[in-house]
Structure 1
Amino acid sequence: MTVSLEDIRAAQMRITGKVTRTALQPSDDLSQRCGVPVYMKMEHHQPTGAFKLRGATNAVAMLGEDERRRGVVAASTGNHGRALAYAAGLEGIDATICMSQLVPHNKRDAIAKLGAQICIVGNSQDDAQTQAELLVAQQGMTMVPPFDDAGVIAGQGTIGLELIEDLPQLDTLLVQLSGGGLASGVAAAVKSLRPQVRVIGVSMARGAAMQASLTAGHPVQVREDETLADSLGGGIGLANRHTFAMCRDLLDGVILLSEEEIAAGIVHAYHEEREIVEGAGAVGIAALLADKVVPRGPVALILSGRNIDMDLHRRVICGEQLQ
């Protein structure tokens, strides 16, 4: 693995006191449905509303003085940009976030409120990444990638350390799968500490870039479509250095969900768990509700983010037809 257990433990030390050690909360309803204990890792309770704060905080903490002085830049589907803007702001570092037109306005506005510069370009995460690379080349800014970066992966992996600390008898873990920063980091930690745990990636059927790449045996490009799980959109990068290989080697399977199934996860989170989560945050719940995984023992899933447009949330909860 390109990111080791020791790297993740070091990240845990760097970010302690800067991020929230989130609760692992039991779900009575899901436990009854599945016939085994089901627990939810409440990452949507982070100060920025998503798990991404862990990776961004660790990556910023690892920067040298010259890198800090030149400012940081990243491409983002929203949550990484918000996390990087927050982490950089705490350190007095300038941040620029590049996003495509597909990123919801509520996520763009939240990043701007944190003081970061916003650059909207193109219609895909790949377009945003190209712009971020251009700023690195032209202005000498320091890139902090949203997922394919050892420091970011190690930061996300601290979730895995907490999961095993809180639930040593864990049997199955459902983890969001997009660019692979979360999935690879958490899987690296969990598999190192408890190799028998099944770690299953969960994504949307629309434009699941990592799943398409795993099927092809190498990174591939996919068309990026609008989805309720917008935080899971975007490619993994044709020159992927870390997350593709780690997901290939560590994941025990991948589940893909329809838009209707994702919506059902959002609704369940609200009505049964009293939690507001975005589409990506609800995919673990959705996979269980759709009977796409057969639990054998204690299950954990991650509520990865809550940064959903509230009008969209209302429409999903009310069962309005969504395109």
Structure 2
Amino acid sequence: MVVVGGGQAGLAAGYHLRRQGLDFAVLDADPAPGGSWQHMWDSLHLFSPPEHSSLPGRLMPVQPGETYPDAGHVVDYLSDYEKRYDLPVQHGTRVDAVRRDGDSLVVEADTGTWRARAVISATGRWSRPFLPAVPGRSVFTGRQLHTVNYRCPADFADQRVIVVGGGNSGAQIAADLALDGNVDVTWVTQRPPRFLADDIDGRALFDVANARRRALEDGRSDTGGVASLGDIVAVPPVRAARDAGLLYAKPMFARLTADGVRWVDGSQSGADAVIWCTGFRPALAHLVPLNLRGPRGHIPTDGTRALSEPRLHLLGYGDWTGPASATLIGVGRPARDAAREIAQLR
């Protein structure tokens, strides 16, 4: 068996494959453990406490002085998890393609080739940032970057920065810049931002996601899940910036200009940088040879199993591969189900 990706989803898959007594390898493009968490911005914290941010079999330890652990603590946890369960992760191994070859799937990587009875793809989305086709993007002479490239406000001292995006990353990065006090930040969104109630954190969101899963499994009406509550978790920095009057959103601009933006009413504002907090797409280029792509870039699945290729499972890309499967606590259940299905192939 081969698991492609050694972040949180790949490690959860490895844990359950080991419990099934299966031989497997985990191939991970990053040179070090920690998945996408090692690439996050400096101030990022989880919006769940550690006991609600854990992979199967191992509770995340408390981070001293923090209710919600920071990204560095998550990296340490994932590194320890990999070692604790002696998971066979081969870091620095980038998978280029997965192909069919008779009864096997052939996994081609930059360090060699593997033959497998089954493959779990767990590459996530961080490596495939999405940039919208906004008019004028090619003529703007300032700096443009995506969420994946943002690190800290010091990189934008005394600059005019426009943050685009009405989700968690947009709100958190806009708040980070606004609270610094040395950045002239403007936050823009396609629609008015929807903040969740201040007392809602990841614990409640996981419960809501599970309630939706149970409703759908029982044939009841779709509850709407987390999306029905709002788009933005009011983590402490977001609340602080909002309550101080520093975090308010303007409607999306009409176009970028050479030195800024033009608003819908025709007025213009200068900008030195634009940070696109506009989401991601599933990183599935390695699966192109299997010709499985469905609507919106998703591969149709039954649970985690690809409908057109039963030897392939997809894990951790979002609700279409398991409710809350893109979260630390949510990936355990679909990882267990995938490992059980794969064990039945013996």
TM-score (norm 2): 0.29
Q: Higher relative contact order at CA 8 Å, sep ≥6: structure 1 or structure 2? A: 2
Instruction: Specify which structure has the higher proportion of strand.
Output: 2
TM-score (norm 1): 0.30
Instruction: Specify which structure has the higher proportion of helix.
Output: 1
